[in-house]
Chains A and B, each alone.
Chain A
Amino acid sequence: MIRLRGLKLSYDTGFSLEVDSLDVRRGEIFAVIGPNGAGKTTLLDAIWGHHSAWCPRPRAGSLSIMGRDAFGGGDRLELRRAMSVVFSQPYLTAGTVADNVALPLRLRGRREPAAVEAALALFRVGHLRGRDARTLSQGESHRTALARAFVTGPRLLLLDEPFGNLDERVREDISRDLRRVVKETGAAAVLVTQHQEGALTLADRLAVMIGGRILQQGEPQEIFARPASREVADFVGVETVVPGRVASRRDNLCAVEAAGRTLMAVSDCAPGDKVFFCLRPEDVSVSLNSDAGGRRNNFPSKIVSVEPWGLEYRVELDCGFPLQAAVTKQLVDGLGLKPGLEVHASFKAVAAHLIKR
């Protein structure tokens, strides 16, 4: 559906975007995640062919969309009309919900009330068809914008942070509907977002973009469990990253010397490799006794801090190196976890991940 090669694009400000290779297959939802200013929107603008003050023209590269050369110059209107783009704000026009949903058809000189009704139904806003678009709630506005994006039956959908500032429940609701509609219509979708959970809910495949480069792409679970670099690890929430050296290896079990400790990790790194030892906070267990329950890594530690973190708590431990653990409220209350308390931290060797440095 999309085949992008060697894209190079730079701003006057010095920021540059360089994407070696990006492929989106028919019918899949492909998410690009990355922090603010990573170049995600620029990438999307380059794909749909928008050049403006904030998005310069590509300097190099090739882009093929639906088998057609998109960087070939000439009018991209026809290609543009085969896709739809949804932004973080719905940007509805004056008029009713139905007027708004009908706008892409009107721009193509078409009048198809049946298509409008079908699109309204896809995102369950049929009952709002006669409402003034300016009186909608945020969730309704986003649903209307999505219906508008689907009214032309696009084969490719580009979503730029599509649910910007919606509250979580509404966002999840709409995300589910969006995934259902994309799968039903067989369209391909590219989603760029900094909401990692949103990307995980929606995406079949994932790319991590930081500083104008795609640092890793693959299955979401793969990227979250096995980040390929320190930057990706930081971004996907691997909070414990300790530099060390592989001392020995038996089968796939590596012993890593780090901060005066020996840490065990399942990896194919070779002895002598300099590595980052990476661990997600939710893989760390905290207990008062030294029973590790079969986990290969078990260290006496001292609690440095206990901070609320969403519904959970984040406990920072000192076990020779700083270690972050995600802990439920029940556990914090049950064990009376507080700064200064001596505890044991344990984690499985298979949960750890080594990145060569």
Chain B
Amino acid sequence: MEFIIEGFRKAVGLILSGNPEIFSIARLSLTVSLLATLIAVAAGVPLGAWIAVKRFPLKKLLIALVNTGMGLPPVVAGLVVMLFLARSGPLGFLNWLYTPKGMIMAQVVIALPIITALTISAMQSVDRRFYRQVLALGATEWQAILVCLRELRLTMVAAVIAGFGRLVAEVGAVMIVGGNIRHQTRMLTTATVMETQMGNFDMAIAIGLVLLALGFVVNLALTLIQQNKVITR
């Protein structure tokens, strides 16, 4: 019991003293996960909307696959991306293995199915007759999709929150693809694992607290956007 309280006391001390290592790790974590979320949104929202709106053979199978992808274990995503990025892999020429770029790539693989699947279900919840009305007002299909997404902004922000939350908390993929290299690819999650294994509980707790705080701040911002409808127009 003693060591837990002691760990917490030291952890707060580390954070308050502005430990530069903790904050550079936090900055990297935030950058990687935010960029990966952004890329996943930029690709997943149009993709999901298109899948939802269009009729094509095996549509249900595709949706089932995307839904399965929501539960893709990060270690599997990390393994696959690592194999692709390995020196002899198909994307080996990029030299992205053990770099933040590689970690972003792995996290995009994790977030893309989440954003896509949530977009599909959001778009499918739109009354087809509403969609038809927007088309009837002279919209192109993409314009109609945009009008619908604007109506769905609450749900869509929730999808972004879900995606980012998953990424910032994920450890398996960034561990495999990034390698937890100090000053280069060490993330809050991988650092927590490492410090715990080394018995540095005060450092582990401190990093864990920063991770929680980071998640809270980003989600608070997104939630404010969602609730205040800042993105209405």
Contact = CB atoms under 8 A, between A and B. Distances in A.
Majority secondary structure, B binding face? helix
Nearest to B128: A52
A230 interface: no
Contact of A94 (B133, B138, B143, B151): B151
Contacts of A52: 55, 128, 132
Contact of A85 (B128, B133, B143): B133
A84 B132 contact: no
Contacts of A81: 138
Contact of A93 (B128, B140, B147): B147
A77 interface: yes
B228 interface: no
B136 A107 contact: no
B143 A87 contact: no
A149 B137 CA distance: 7
Contact of A77 (B132, B140, B147, B150): B140
B230 to A, nearest CB: 14
The residue in A93, A108, A149 that gathers the most chain B C-beta atoms within 10 A of its C-beta is A93
A108 B129 CA distance: 21
Interface string A45-56: 000101011100
B216 to A, nearest CB: 29
B55 A53 contact: yes
A99 to B, nearest CB: 8
Contacts of B233: 95, 99
A93 B147 CA distance: 8
A40 B104 CA distance: 53
A287 interface: no
Give the bracket for the number of chain A residues in contact with chain B: 20 to 34
Contact of B138 (A89, A108, A158): A108
A139 interface: no
B140 A87 contact: no
Nearest to A82: B138
B133 A107 contact: no
A300 interface: no
A52 B138 CA distance: 16
The residue in B130, B137, B232 that gathers the most chain A C-beta atoms within 10 A of its C-beta is B137
Contact of A148 (B129, B137, B140, B151): B137
Contacts of B83: none
Interface string A70-89: 00000001001100110101
Nearest to A80: B138
A43 interface: no
24 contacts: A48-B136, A52-B132, A53-B55, A54-B128, A77-B140, A80-B136, A84-B137, A87-B129, A87-B133, A87-B136, A89-B129, A89-B133, A91-B129, A91-B130, A93-B147, A94-B150, A95-B232, A95-B233, A99-B233, A103-B137, A107-B137, A107-B143, A108-B138, A152-B138
Interface of A: 48, 50, 52-54, 77, 80-81, 84-85, 87, 89, 91, 93-95, 99, 103-104, 107-108, 148-149, 152, 158
Given A54-B128, A91-B129, A103-B147, 19 more contacts: A50-B135, A52-B55, A52-B128, A77-B138, A77-B140, A80-B138, A81-B138, A85-B133, A87-B132, A91-B134, A93-B147, A94-B232, A99-B233, A104-B138, A107-B137, A107-B138, A148-B137, A149-B137, A158-B136
